[in-house]
Structure 1
Amino acid sequence: MQNCVDASQTGEVDLVMGNIAHGGYCVARLDGRVVFVRGALPGEKVRVRLTDTSKASHWFGHAVDIISADSHRVDAPCPVAGECGGCDFQHVDVSFQRELKRRVVAEQLSRLAGITWSGKVEAVDGSSDGLGWRTRMQYRSLNQRPALRRHRSHDLVQVPQGGCPIAHPAGRAAAETACRTAEQAIVMVTSCLTEDPEVSVIADGQLVSGGETMTAHVGQRRWKVGAGGFWQVHPGAAEALADAVVEGLNPHQGDEALDLYCGVGLFAGLLADRGVRVRGIEVSRQAVALARRNVPGGRFTAGRVERVLPRMSTKANIVVLDPPRKGAGKAVIQAVARTSPRAIAHVACDPAALARDVRLFDGYGYAPRSIRAFDVFPMTHHVEAVAVLEPKV
């Protein structure tokens, strides 16, 4: 059954949900048109409020009433989960969230790269209930309280009393304090978790409390990280991804390695500890300065990877690349292939971008030996993956 309510009159329609899609939506159909529905689960019948009907090919909607619920549906732990754009899956049992993400990764790899993937989305240490994990949060101030954007909107929603449930508790009080001082200020709260957690607050680009740098830990090793720079936001993410990269590359003493989009040198540091000579490229000059501090034996260049790497004549035994959400793209992948590595570890935060990059690598003679996915963004549709590629035989 598709349409029990006249959507043109009410803006609401009853739909039966199809498969999960990239972005956290379920796919439904209305009079031959695709409708992407937020807040639903595959197989459910829900009343959908249409929120965007501007495109001829597809519309967007939000579930406002569950007519027949899936067994994996739960009560959202956050009272503003249906309004705030920060979470997609608070209505889903945590273990089934990983199954939904697995389906998305498999579908993207199949459709965009022609790969059949039978892996799973692995849990990581630090948030068995999917809450209290996010160590970096960016808020706006609304009525002197922390607020986040509504889904696909610039409108704001105040976080509940006690703080955003997925934000790490170490930073919640600092967010409340900072947001009392300036209406509409952009407030970034960063926590680094040790026995005595460090918390820094940046408001409208200015450090207002805490240090400019913080200390992050992976295993027994430490890295200095910029309070406003990049580091994995889940407490268990850096270690899980680093283990997957190092295990997948199997570095040898004396190897030459490239760490592309290297940030402050997470992967470079672990490879250097194993006797690998590392070169890193990163666009952020602040991050490069910290990488040189974190990995004194490495060589690091500030610049865009797509511009710097093609000009380098170096060969590499192993390569790590951790590109932004859009992926590495053709120019970078072509330049990586020219270095003739025996193994490449591609870290990706978007399964569609990973699939596109894997397809490009295939054209240069590299195919995935393994692809692992990790649930380092619980309650959201996001998923991180590590693909290890080797030359095709």
Structure 2
Amino acid sequence: MSPARRPRARTRNRPPRGASHVGERHEVVVGPVAHGGHCVARLPADDGPGRVVFVRHALPGERVVVEITEGTDGDRFWRGDAVEVAEADADRVVPPCPYAGPGLCGGCDFQHVALSRQRALKADVVREQLSRLAGLDVDVTVEEVPGLPPHEHDGLRWRTRQRFVALPGGRRGMRKHRSHQVVEVDDCLIAVAPADHVVRGAAFEVADDGFWQVHPGAPGVLVDTVLAYLAPQPGESVLDLYAGVGLFGRFLAEAVGEGAVTLVEGDAAACEHARANVPAATVLAGDVGEVLAGLPVEPVDLVVLDPPREGARRAVVEAVAARRPRAIAYVACDPAALARDLAVLAEHGYRLDRLRGLDLFPMTHHVECVAVAVPTDLGG
């Protein structure tokens, strides 16, 4: 659970590639959902397939008027918002938040979608990414996660950490989608008071600005899933990579007893907390790839990977596979990164054995997955 998961500001000051089409409006029939909180549509064309537009605030199958928000003649695709709905899907709802919608706060992608359909859309995205990037045909379900306070609207009041933009007079705001422009926000409906750092009765040290899952039910369900998938046994050895403050390492160390548990984490402050939270483990500070490259390539029984959004990437995945663990648990906040890393594991004799999708980020397009990979020669 590396602090590197915190989002980074994007820069989009690239030179235009021809005439701009921002502000144009076109009526389109919306296609499938895509990774990133939008659906795919094509503009009408007389001479073959029209321009691809990534459309926010729409649902597959709807007929909408899309207003172009990014796009020039030379771009491969454009972006736009559905500003009028001519034919609505049955799962379209009125967004509970007054700041959700075209041109407003960019924090929530799916407030216009019934919660059960949000999860179905996320499952579609995970399934498509695994198929396209890893060649896997997997049945995916994204589950509701318990732990939210009761509220009149499901899917709200789950985010225990929220970053606002300070405005004059003590006011605050949120940024528009893919923009530095700010919308003043009186009350963010997905925000809730911070939760404690207690999991399975165990308290964790965490820095005030350190990484901790923002959904109150997330730490518990993730630990439960990883332990169930790995089934750690007394005496086994464990590598916990991108270990954060030791959420998984603490319970793995309890399960393996006298077995060797090693945590690797890039953030120095998180490492200090991990040493307090998992005193039985060896905690190594540094870039995960560099640390693994400096360690002897010795067999290990179990590995946990909980990388930042870009994934573990080839060098780390290959270093893990070289140690021939009997099982690898991968906690992923990005399905594309998960699929790419599973594809590398497949090259080195590992197959996907189990996958669980968890809706840790309602009203947004984000989804958490826990996967376990095992040696291909185990069959299945």
- State the TM-score, normalizing by the size of structure 2: 0.88
Higher relative strand content: 1
Aligned counterpart in structure 2 of residue 328 of structure 1, from 297, 312, 326: 312
Q: For 1:378 and 1:145, locate their aligned partners in 2 and report how far apart those are by CA, in whole Å.
A: 26
> Aligned ranges for residues 184-203 of structure 1 at < 5 Å?
191-193=194-196
Q: For 2:293 and 2:75, locate their aligned partners in 1 and report how far apart those are by CA, in whole Å.
A: 42
Percentage identity across aligned positions? 51
Deviations 1:315-363 (A, max 9, x none): 3100001011011111001110111100000111000000000000001
Q: For 1:28 and 1:9, locate their aligned partners in 2 and report how far apart those are by CA, in whole Å.
A: 16
Q: 1:159 deviation in Å?
A: 1.3
SS at structure 1 position matched to 2:33: coil
Q: For 1:244 and 1:312, locate their aligned partners in 2 and report how far apart those are by CA, in whole Å.
A: 28
Letter in structure 1 aligned against 2:284: T
Greater displacement, 374-383 / 239-248: 239-248
Q: Unaligned regions of 5+ residues in structure 1, if any?
A: 1-6, 171-190, 194-215
Q: For 1:355 and 1:133, locate their aligned partners in 2 and report how far apart those are by CA, in whole Å.
A: 27
Superposition RMSD in Å? 1.4
Matched, 1:13 2:65: no
Letter in structure 2 aligned against 1:61: G
* Match of residue 282 from structure 1: 265
* Match of residue 377 from structure 1: 361
Aligned counterpart in structure 1 of residue 54 of structure 2, from 25, 32, 36: 36
SS at structure 2 position matched to 1:117: coil
Q: For 1:74 and 1:145, locate their aligned partners in 2 and report how far apart those are by CA, in whole Å.
A: 29
Q: Residue 281 of structure 1 contacts residue 302 of structure 1 at CA under 8 Å; is this kept in 2?
A: yes
Q: 1:56 deviation in Å?
A: 2.3
Letter in structure 1 aligned against 2:191: A
* Match of residue 340 from structure 1: 324
* Match of residue 200 from structure 2: 219
SS at structure 2 position matched to 1:355: helix
SS at structure 1 position matched to 2:94: coil
> Aligned ranges for residues 1-393 of structure 1 at < 5 Å?
11-30=24-43, 31=45, 32-54=50-72, 55-82=74-101, 83-127=104-148, 129-143=154-168, 144-160=170-186, 163-168=187-192, 170=193, 191-193=194-196, 216-274=197-255, 275=257, 276-313=259-296, 314-393=298-377
Q: For 1:93 and 1:140, locate their aligned partners in 2 and report how far apart those are by CA, in whole Å.
A: 29
- State the TM-score, normalizing by the size of structure 1: 0.85
Q: Residue 21 of structure 2 contacts residue 70 of structure 2 at CA under 8 Å; is this kept in 1?
A: no
Q: 1:76 deviation in Å?
A: 0.4
Q: 1:19 deviation in Å?
A: 0.3
Letter in structure 2 aligned against 1:151: H
* Match of residue 12 from structure 2: none
Q: For 2:147 and 2:110, locate their aligned partners in 1 and report how far apart those are by CA, in whole Å.
A: 18
Q: 1:138 deviation in Å?
A: 1.1
Q: Residue 23 of structure 2 contacts residue 68 of structure 2 at CA under 8 Å; is this kept in 1?
A: no
Q: 1:9 to 1:132 in 2, by over 3 A?
A: closer
Q: Unaligned regions of 5+ residues in structure 2, if any?
A: 1-19
Q: Residue 305 of structure 2 contacts residue 329 of structure 2 at CA under 8 Å; is this kept in 1?
A: yes
Q: For 1:242 and 1:277, locate their aligned partners in 2 and report how far apart those are by CA, in whole Å.
A: 19
